[in-house]
Amino acid sequence: MSAPIPRLSLVLPCRNQEDHIERVLLAYPPVFAAAALSFEIVVVPNACSDRTPEIARRVAAGDERFRVEETSRSGWGHAVLTGLGIARGSCLAYANSARTDPAWIPPLVALFERNDPCLAKVRRQHRGVPLREAGSWLFNLEARLLFGVRARDVNGTPKVLSRALLDRLRPVHRDDLLDLEIMAKATRNRVKVVEMVTEGFERHGGRSTTNVGTAVGLYLGALRLRRELRRAESA
């Protein structure tokens, strides 16, 4: 007999997070249980060089609601799309495993379900570092000018959407542009975007790999994405 379809599939990419990944993963089930939210968590270790995959598999061995899909390829978008590709839930979500508060998920799912069809997401009020605040502001401005995206936090996660919407948007970017691609396509398809405001976030451990080079890559990537979408529309 096949397992019942959960209400939520949450995809958590992770890379080299052995110092905190077990604690992070084990924090989710009590929060979801308190909200009476049936779930599966799809953990996607990507291009790890430490014990992250081993730890994730150990957690999954003790709780069948966890699934682990390891990939040797790096990339935020690749990890997210890998997880979404095998997710079984009636609603789909993905989040940054290093800086998501599990308590955000149940109210965000409820917001999604009240407004579906829609894309539901977190909007972070503060990043905590002035340079990062400025860089994010510039990227969101670029998203508005190039694609008409009205949301103020394009890369904010968790994001929640339906399988039908995922199939409609058909995101393909396997890098850091995935969130912008989803937001741009949602805007062009007149999909309602609803946001839940959070004050900010604290990392559960490790160090962020985002730097000036990452930001420049995003700014240039947005221009490339605009050309791609225009070509697709004219094809």
Q: In this predicted structure, what is the pLDDT of residue 207? A: 66
C-alpha–C-alpha distance, residues 57 and 59, integer Å:
5
Is pLDDT of 223 > 70? yes
| 217 domain-assigned | yes
Q: What is the pLDDT of residues 110-139, one digit of tens each?
A: 999 999 999 999 999 876 678 888 999 999
pLDDT in tens, 144-168: 999 999 998 999 999 999 999 999 9
Residue 143 lies in a domain: yes
pLDDT of 235: 77
pLDDT-derived band at 192 (thresholds 50, 70, 90) equals very high
CATH number of the domain to which 119 belongs:
3.90.550.10
pLDDT at position 129 is: 75
Question: Across the chain, what does the average pLDDT equal?
Answer: 94
Q: How far apart are alpha carbons 61 and 58 in whole angstroms?
A: 5
Residue 145 domain flag = yes
User: Is residue 1 predicted with pLDDT exceeding 60?
Assistant: no
Band (234; pLDDT cuts 50, 70, 90): confident
Contact between 206 and 96 under an 8 Å Cβ cutoff? The reply is no
How far the first Cα of the chain sits from its last, in Å, is 45
Within a domain: 1: no
Residue 163 lies in a domain: yes
Structure tokens at 12: 């958590």
d(CA 171, CA 77) in angstroms, rounded, equals: 9
Measured over the CA atoms of residue 112, residue 44, residue 80 and residue 100, the dihedral's sign is: positive
What is the b/e burial string over 62-88, where b = at least 16 CB atoms within 10 angstroms of the residue's CB? eeeebbbbbbeeebbbbbbbbbbeebe
Whole-angstrom distance, CA of residue 227 vs CA of residue 177:
14
Task: Answer whether residue 43 is part of any domain.
Answer: yes
Residue 122: domain span: 8-234
Enter the pTM of the model: 0.95
Question: Is the pLDDT at 210 greater than 90, yes or no?
Answer: no
Domain count, the chain: 1
- Strand, helix or coil at 162? coil
Does position 48 have pLDDT exceeding 90, yes or no? yes
Question: 55 in a domain, yes or no?
Answer: yes
In whole angstroms, give the CA distance from residue 100 to residue 200. Answer: 10
Task: Note whether residue 129 is domain-resident.
Answer: yes
